[in-house]
Structure 1
Amino acid sequence: MGRKSKQQIEEETTAIQSFLSTQHYRKANTLINSKGRSTLLVQKLFAVSIAKAEHNPDDNTLEANIYGTDLKKIFGVKGGSFYEHIKSAIEPAKNKPSILDWRIIYSNDETQEIEAINVITDASFKNGVLNVRYNNKITPYLTNLQSNYTVLSLAEAVQLNSVYSFRLYEILKAEMDRQRAITKRPGPYYVQYHLTDLKLRLGIIDSQADPEIISALKKGNPDYDKIEKQADKLDGAGKLKTFGNFKKFALDKAQKELNETTSIWFDYEPVKAGRGGKVVNIRFIIDVNPKVKKCDIPEEKANKTTVIDSMEVIDQIQDIIDQKIKFSEIRAIAEAADYNIDKVRAAYELSKKNKNIDNFVGWMISAIKNDYKAAGSGNSSIVGKYVQGSFNYDEWEQDLLDN
């Protein structure tokens, strides 16, 4: 077979981008801010499997089955088998943790608990299908999330070329969304991390490498100087031990990647203290990336909603609606409201006054489109431009979902 033409390459690229454009994954912020070491491929596979995972409420297991053909599309592999890539992630290799070796330490400030666990209990690749099963203790941080979580773009995550870029994308996106939700104001936003804490979050220092490090991290206020010294004895940070190398190979590389290719933008500055001006903290400035392209929505709406705007509205809808509905259904509701959160909130409040709703999503779409309002003070009836019984909510909902 001859070389592919430029048109064929462009068509394949477009197909991959289209495949990823609507794919997102959700993580509890507790998990995003955990400390652990893994490879870039493991992080990407984890993100993909989250997006594909199915929850079994009977035994609280979370499991994902992903076809190798889909993995090839997601990772942009143009030919051959994905077997070697999967093998390198599952089989232990010298100085490189496999997907089964990935252990993290995380803290839950609400319950004041700190725990160290393996993230994945089983992984296999058979008959062209990757199967991943998560530790049951991770399940609450990945499914049925109601608050304190972040929606991340799979398309943005999988195209990153550094594990440090990947982790900073998740960490800074979570922090930006958290501050935006609390302050209700546009950016920029500011956050500061202890240098050692940041190295642990990025996996530069292995949180599981030594009993003394594990013990120090399990305390409420870890002694980061002690952890850094212990890591130095083990040469745990490798070439990124010096701040100059950490800046060059981790921070600067991540800054270039994220600012050029993702929906977030950041800058940073080292904070020095003590005699000799040793760097002890990194202060980040985070904002929505000015390069963000318009959301893939109808042209007449293009000037209203960016990718970030739409995802913010979808996040808010998920927080408002206390119903288990699909992401596509949430997006259909957002589309019906022209991404106006006030319209969605008003319709949802009305829905709680109506006890006879068979199709919740269809009813919400109709209520938004037809501007339903309560019939009168103290009256639970709902009125709109059309009589409810005469409208086919299922057809309207499906029409929006299909488009």
Structure 2
Amino acid sequence: MKNQLLLPDEIVKKDNQIIRTKLEIPGVEGARILAALISRIKTNEPFNPNKIYSIAVKDIIKNPDGHSYQKIKTVCKELLKSSAEIELYNDTSEEDEFIGFPFFSAIQYKKGIISAKFNFLMEKMLFKLTECFTEYSLTEYLQLSSIYSQRIFEILKSYSNLPDKEKIIPIEELHKYLSTPKSQITNFGLFQEKILKKAHKEIISKTDFYFEYEPIKGGKGGRTSPVTAVRFIFSKKKIEPVKEKKEKEDKEKTAKNNNKNFLAAWNCVKSCKGNCDTLSKKPNKAACTICKTKNLLEEVLKKQEEHCPSEKITPQKTTYKSGGIEVEQANFFEILENKNE
């Protein structure tokens, strides 16, 4: 892995309850500080409310400057209010139960050193863990540059040892875990592009953890049905068919977009007859690129001459300014190139 931070390869260990839930953490830096402080807890260490755990800012941020230190101070203030939220649903009671678990009882920031005391509520969540917990490399975690990559990494790590090597997470639950922006909750396509794909790419390229995923749709509407859950796969045997399916879908999507842009470029050339200035609406850049690389104007002129020689299309002269001098230009491709500069 490239650009690793200078920190020992320590282990972060958490109870699954505070991983598979909603967390209130101030961004990437806050998550890194929290993970680094948790990694200082030794295996089988008993909880001591007065014990202080410390880390150096230089271990969290590479080449920190004055601005970085100021930002860390602000993050530390916000970390003091950070918590894990757990909701318990009771079938026999009219009311469900909500519990908030603050991570720290105190935080100090002084001369580049962050020191903290863990809240007593963290005793069962971070100390002397023997079952239902997840552990991962702090060094790998610190490579992740997005809060969504960080959360997806530890959430999926907590499920990666399931017997069937896969986990289906309902979409509502996944949004809760990630605190997904409202604009993406109702638009899975946007959620997939902005969060899932980017997190997947970063995690498999910067850590040793590999997984694939595929959306699961509900209802009987076929492709138009809404996504109701996401299936995450950790088994190499199960990953291959999912990976092949995604690659096939990506190729089909690319081909569809290429065909759409080619048609737009073709219609554009036929309508403007080589004179881009006559267009009331300019085509997209992809269509312009296809037009130039495929010599579409020459193709249109050739087709027109073959089928209607008496109505042959000829490029119109266009006047444009180049370096303050007006120039007449009949070459469609040079005109197009000047328009794109």
TM-score normalised by L of structure 1: 0.50
DSSP-derived class of the 2:211 partner: strand
Residue number among 167, 175, 180 corresponding to 1:199 in the alignment: 175
By how many angstroms is 1:260 displaced?
1.0
Contact map agreement 1:40 1:163 (CA 8 A) in 2? yes
1:155 aligns with 2:143: no
Q: Show the counterpart of 2:54.
A: 65
By how many angstroms is 1:88 displaced?
3.4
Q: Show the counterpart of 2:182.
A: 237
DSSP-derived class of the 1:172 partner: helix
By how many angstroms is 1:23 displaced?
1.4
- Note the 1:213-292 alignment, pairs <5 A: 237-239=182-184, 241-274=186-219, 276-287=224-235
Output the CA distance in 2 between the equivalents of 1:280 and 1:270.
8
1:85 aligns with 2:33: no
Output the CA distance in 2 between the equivalents of 1:119 and 1:242.
33
DSSP-derived class of the 1:75 partner: coil
Q: Show the counterpart of 2:284.
A: none
Please list the CA deviations of residues 197-253 of structure 1 after superposition, one character each: whole Å capped at 9, or x if unmatched.
10111122xxxxxxxxxxxxxxxxxxxxxxxxxxxxxxx624554212211111001
- Note the 1:305-320 alignment, pairs <5 A: none
Percent same amino acid among aligned pairs?
Answer: 25
What stretches of structure 1 move > 3 A for 4+ residues in a row? 53-63, 78-82, 238-241
DSSP-derived class of the 1:264 partner: coil
Q: Show the counterpart of 2:287.
A: none
Output the CA distance in 1 between the equivalents of 2:235 and 2:28.
24
- From the superposition, tell whether residues 251 and 127 of structure 1 become closer, same or farther in structure 2 (CA, over 3 Å): same
1:24 aligns with 2:8: no
Q: Show the counterpart of 1:75.
A: 61
Q: Show the counterpart of 2:103.
A: 119
DSSP-derived class of the 2:121 partner: coil
Output the CA distance in 2 between the equivalents of 1:151 and 1:249.
27
By how many angstroms is 1:43 displaced?
1.1
TM-score normalised by L of structure 2: 0.58
Q: Show the counterpart of 2:119.
A: 135
- From the superposition, tell whether residues 142 and 126 of structure 1 become closer, same or farther in structure 2 (CA, over 3 Å): same
Please list the CA deviations of residues 82-140 of structure 1 after superposition, one character each: whole Å capped at 9, or x if unmatched.
4223123134xxxxxx213323222589xx97522323332221233212222211121
Specify every segment of 5 or more residues in structure 2 that has no aligned partner in the other structure, as ranges: 90-95, 237-341
1:42 aligns with 2:30: yes
Q: Show the counterpart of 1:176.
A: 160
Q: Give the residue type in structure 1 aligned to 2:124.
A: P
1:102 aligns with 2:82: yes
Output the CA distance in 2 between the equivalents of 1:278 and 1:106.
27
- Note the 1:305-384 alignment, pairs <5 A: none
Contact map agreement 1:122 1:133 (CA 8 A) in 2? yes
Q: How many correspondences in the alignment?
A: 225
DSSP-derived class of the 1:282 partner: strand
Output the CA distance in 2 between the equivalents of 1:61 and 1:141.
17
Q: Larger C-alpha radius of gyration, 1 or 2? A: 2
Output the CA distance in 2 between the equivalents of 1:203 and 1:62.
32
Q: Give the residue type in structure 1 aligned to 2:22.
A: K
Please list the CA deviations of residues 268-313 of structure 1 after superposition, one character each: whole Å capped at 9, or x if unmatched.
111111355011111111247xxxxxxxxxxxxxxxxxxxxxxxxx
